[in-house]
Structure 1
Amino acid sequence: MIKHTLLCFILLTIILNAQNTNSLEQKMESYSQKVKTQWKYNPLRNPETDKYFSGYADINNYNTKFWFGTIFNANKLYNNKNFTIDKVIIFHSPTLSTELAPIAFNINEETHRIRIGLAYSAKFNFAHYQYKYDKLYGTSFLFSTYMQVEAYFDYIFKNKLKIRFAPLKHICYHMGGDILGDDSLHNKIDDEFIDVGFEQMHIAAYYRWGWFSFYGGTLFAITGFKKSNLVNIFTIYAGSDFRFPLWGEMNLIAGFYAAAEYDEFNKIDRKAAGEGYNAIESIYKWSPSISVALGVEIYRFAIGVKYEYLRSRQLYAFRKMESKIGLEASLFF
């Protein structure tokens, strides 16, 4: 009898303790969820809201993409006959880009959003040659690379208006090793050594209204004067996107971008290492930038046709205007 009573007591104690433990666990989980709702942390961009603040045709957007097509005036950009541009099958440019905001928080749910972070983009300009017309390093030829890095502060109001202030944006051009390593394309003794690198400040505004997005901004140089072969002293730009819902997350998307750029072109006297370098001739010039795009967007992904007319971002041809058209697949993340 005593044994049965003791056994029942032990079982009852275990059941009560288990219930208390479950109750305590539920309280812990409930408190954790309550605290999480106070701050929704996401250092990455949210495509449901933030893709409307990244111009589809904006030549400076931070979308990862792959473009392939033709450059109408490629022979003028690379007028050295040894490039045999007429034997190029296709030009293609992969671009790796994203934005990351380690400091990101909301005020009053999503009425006010603050994001402080870094944006990065690296573009590689390739050409693919016909069989038996390959260059020193093969049929796939790297002409140049272009990179921009931007430290930014974003204020977003009700996911409809975004103000961006970037106190520092670094831009640099690099000539492809496929050119530098081939003496028939670049003579290290006779040809000018070119180097482009400078910093800017960037201010921009973006607004979403229904199926439309509008944006505009300005950039102005803060370093590189008389030292870099090119300095983009001032740029003012504007653009717009139009999204027409087709089915589910699928949209028809069209974009337009236009800018006026004021540049300093320098001829640099480069002395021996450590002796510095100075501009011996400077030319100042305005140039336009135009980009139009039409495609289909599915959530983060878009594919479409894009045309661009702008001062070339290929270092070998940075003094010339470039006109190109092609297909582009882009990814927003």
Structure 2
Amino acid sequence: MAATNKQWIVENKDKGFDGLVYKETSIPQVGENEVLVKLEAASLNYRDLIIPKGMYPFPTKFPVVPASDGAGEVIEVGSKVTDFKKGDKVATLFNQGHQFGSIDIPATQTGLGGVIDGTLREYGVFAEKGLVKAAKNLSAIENSTLTCAALTSWNALYGLKPLKPGEYVLVQGTGGVSLFGLQFAKAAGAIVIATTSSAQKAEKLKQLGADHVINYKEDENWGETAKKLTPDGAGVDHIIEVGGAGTLKQSFKAIKYEGVISVIGFLGGVDPKTQPSVVDTLGHICTVRGVYVGSKALMRDMIRAIEANDIHPVVDEKVFTLSEVREAYDFMWAQKHFGKLAIKIC
């Protein structure tokens, strides 16, 4: 085992990416209910970019090792650990305290890379309950993408009103959450409508199985267009909404009666003047829910589905090393990535 532990630290929320510091520390000690993991890979989410910018709406604590997503190998286990043994391949759970059922306030205080030290380091000690066994069909880099984006998509499609074969799913853009949503929906026998602003990305979406692709820059009223693509123009059953106020108005136009709009992000900004009101849910007879990743039980279900269907995450062809994390943040902030942006640690 290495004598030191190289890791990144977000010192505070006032310096932006300049607040990211790369340093060496000692390898943490393992408690009786804890597991020491040699991290092999991590991946970034939009959430990781906005934490050092002070834009993240959920609990944080500084200084903190950033990033929730990670995968690696168990090196040592505490005396009371029963679920894992040395040599097991594992992936991290986003909210370490969210084990099953609905999330509660205490669980929001256990976000990895926000309140609890995350995965941008060589070695990490995690609570036994904060890890899951990795998917057997995936590499370490692929497994490192499951913690946040994949589980969020799975929760959107299966957490409240489970997706059924033949139903229609709308995903927005080509970020990690949307692409996982596309893959999970196709594996379930659903029909997928995807939106994008790029002809090149549209082709990639079709290659991944999208049945219909709408260029939202060419079609500003894409919500109505999506609705017309469904049987009898009834609307879409599930929408994975990542744009916020910038896209929610169109999502309401696309949704089916009793459909579910899962609000996951706000990439399109938050503008109260253009944002639909709560009353719009009555006008469209639909459910709009905020999704805050998912539980350990849901993650285990998702991993079983990934293994059974041999689903492989979409990872950008450019993979950064641990020492290049600062460059990775800039690359992702500039939206140069397609799918998940990965960090190879060892």
Q: Name whichever structure is richer in strand by fraction.
A: 1
Q: Name whichever structure is richer in helix by fraction.
A: 2
Same fold (TM over 0.5): no
Q: TM-score, normalised by structure 2?
A: 0.23
Rg larger for = 1
Q: TM-score, normalised by structure 1?
A: 0.24
